[in-house]
Structure 1
Amino acid sequence: MAEAGAEEKICSSERVEPDSFIESVHDFSQNQPPKQSQLKCPQCGSDRLYKDGLRYLGDGNSVQRWLCRNCGYRFTEPKNQARTGWKNPPSGLNPPSASYYSCQGNNDPERREPTARKAALTLATVEKQNEKRAAGATKHTAQQDVKGKIIELLWKLERDGRKQGTIANYRKNLMKMFRQGVNLLEPEDCKDWLAKTELAATTKRNIATILDKWFEYLSIAWIRPTYCGESDIPFIPTEQELDSLISAVGKKMTCYLQLLKETGARCGEISNLKWTDIDFEQKTIRVKGEKGSYSRMLPISQKTVEMLKNLPKNREQIFANANAMRTCFYIQRKKVARKLGNPRLMQITFHTFRHWKGTMLYHQTKDIYYVKEYLGHKDLKSTQVYIHIERALFRTMEPGEYHVKVATEKEEIVSLLEEGFEFVMEKERLAYFRKRK
């Protein structure tokens, strides 16, 4: 009975009157925020949405962004549902978290609004960057245009009938300037490059001639710089030095140099020789002129014929191109000069053989027109240099610098003349010949 009375007492203490309960529920509902309507996608009407971050407005407010799971449409929460808040609210001086800023940046208007000076500097920086970017794009486009114009000029030269050697020379010099960063659209830039580069005056004059044609094709006016070609006396070695070099190089190079010595042809003309250009019976070769030279038939010795017969005939042309042969020659020449201890050999080039042949021909014949035809010159001025060289070399020859031969029979005389000996005099039915050592 005592326990029943206690239980009844507890229940009676927890009993709430109906009217007071209704009032408390009413008060609780008044304190709760109004229930928002369910958000739906404005594109497809689906309520299957993802929160897609916040969008921060210029006035400091932020609104929710949503992503529809049904159609993938992104949209912003309506303005009446947007919530306002600071990412970094101003809350007193030097708060503990004053150094912390959201990864989205600080959108506090008082701290975020730049001054007029700062805004102007920022705008100037952006404009400068845009100008640099535009200038870089323009420069790249201009450089591509220059390469295209070079190709167009080369094609025009070919249509005009210019020789391949001339076209190759135009291509080499224009592309060299282009690769070195010269603005080929600016005449003054080209003049500065010509003035600063270390080239011979004759080479600069030739490049100026090429630039004449280039700016004429582009319809750009320019004043051509004047370069006076300096007349340089070529180096003429002795025949003994040439022979020592020829005998010390490789098999194919030996034949190549022997042809240069006997014919006086240019290296390009020898490199272009084909097996069909060799007449082994008549001991002659057919040379096709280049660089303004005449084509011609030139004799060769039996020694050279045998050298040619021993070369492999696995291609139409006998030798490689002139650039490849020149590179190979420079390597072998350096080794030979070091081995023989003669630094003068380092001055010998392919064209040195042509100068030597022209000088020897004039010394033997004293006929400048014969030398002109033999070398294939179109201009006599190109041949007259050998007159000066011959006089300088043979008028100062000391005794003992000649090979001297005496002949009595016709066959001996013919043989000596073929070997390059010069007839000097006849005495007591003996013919005296000499040849420079």
Structure 2
Amino acid sequence: MKPVRIALLGCGTVGGGVVKLLLRNPDKYERILGAPLQLAVVADRSLKPDDVPGLPAKLITRDAIAAVTRPDIDIVVELFGGHEPARALIMKALAAGKDVVTGNKALLAEHGGEIFREAGKHGLAVGFEASVGGGVPIIRTLREALAGDRQRAVYGIVNGTCNSILTTMTENGVEFGTALADAQAKGLAEANPATDVEGHDSAHKLCLLVTLAFGVLVKPAQIYTEGITRITQADIEYARELGCVIKLLAIGKDDDGAVEARVHPTMIPERHLLAGVGGAYNAIYIHGDALGATMYSGLGAGEMPSATAVMADVLEIARHRMAEGSARTHAFGFPIHLMKGASVKPMDDVVCEYYLRFAARDKPGVLGAIASVLGKHGLSIASVIQKDRGKASTVPVIMRTHGAPERSLKRALAEMRKKKIVQSAPAFIRIEEKL
């Protein structure tokens, strides 16, 4: 049988893993396909032959455009990352009749509609399993295994860097800066970790999860995004007293067409399955009407987990190429030309329970004044923790509220600051009790 030939764009961490798998498993892949799977060219501006053991120097090129338009190439694997030149190269590959595999969540979150429409116009496939959850097969699960059900909610721990930092803070009793430095020393965080710790990476991934789960298109600008940089050890400890742990969650909910899409630190019950997902692991917890709750977990990044996801897409697409006339799967499980933009609920309208941390004067009447303002704006108190009374002029006051719209909370906190009921800007963290 004629071999299926691959052009690889980018041979960094994940690209190197793809090369290793292709060199390690040629017999297995040929048995799966009934034909050889061949790496024909690797386009990378800085790659040297010795960087990936076993990679022939003759396969390396600096000319990515020539690589994606070669007539003997069947599948283009884009692992450059970023928006450009990745977008332009993918569009050129599709125009030249090549199927595409990518792990580029930032690109797909912003330009996925354009890319998938172009693929549909040419009857081509775009695989993107590696874009969310690393080696966790969540894209294929939502698109295929759960297609018969209606999904109501998706909760994702989808950034291993943040999860590792929060795990270190929880287990070792250290502050954010120390936990971040530890993650950087272990290679779990970049030298500039802003995209991860400020929540943007999770927001990109949530765009794809919302589209797969609910069948609507959403852009990063529509997603409320808040990172973990303001989480303190005090918050970790008080969460424990409330029977909770703090996780950075990517949350998508479908309330009969009104979609919630948000990324922020969230307190969840310590008994919940997501609470036990530690370190660099990812997990996606899904609620369906018929199936109920299911969870999918595994290593969310790294060379081999992500390379495994890339190869799963390559093999699936290669199977379609081998079976002449077979229909290609819709990338999101829905015909792209029928999909509409999401109507995303404003954050002010989102109803949550809240953890509140105040710095208050240690004198009579302050607690009552706080409760009065909260009640005035429709927030009722579920529990109160007050410590260190009599030890300092300012003491921490911790409150947990019942559910209320975020608009009401913001108005209450603004009034407290204006009236100087509390000493500094109050901190709050949203609580998801019933995931």
TM-score, normalised with respect to structure 1: 0.18
- Give 1 or 2: higher strand fraction: 2
Greater Rg over alpha carbons, structure: 1
Q: Which has the higher contact order (CA 8 A, sep 6+)?
A: 2
More helix by share: 1
